[in-house]
Structure 1
Amino acid sequence: MSQSRIIVSLFWIGLGIFVMIFSYKLGLGRLNNPDSGLMSFLLGLILVLLSLYSLVLSLLKKAGEEEPRKEGRSQANYGKIALVLVALITYSFVLEKLGFVITTWIFLFLLFRGMGNKWITTLIASAFTVLATYFVFTFFGVRFPPGIFR
Structure 2
Amino acid sequence: MKALIQRVRRASVTVDERVVGAIDHGLLALVGVEKGDDATAAERLLHKLLHYRVFADEAGKMNLNLQQVEGGLLLVSQFTLAADTRKGLRPSFSSAAPPADGERLFHYLLERAEAAWPKVASGEFAANMQVELINDGPVTFLLES
Q: TM-score range by the shorter chain?
A: under 0.3
Structure showing greater radius of gyration is 1
TM-score by length of 2: 0.26
TM-score by length of 1: 0.25
Q: Which has the higher helix share?
A: 1
Q: Which has the higher strand share?
A: 2
Using CA pairs under 8 Å that are at least 6 residues apart, name the structure with larger relative contact order, 1 or 2: 2
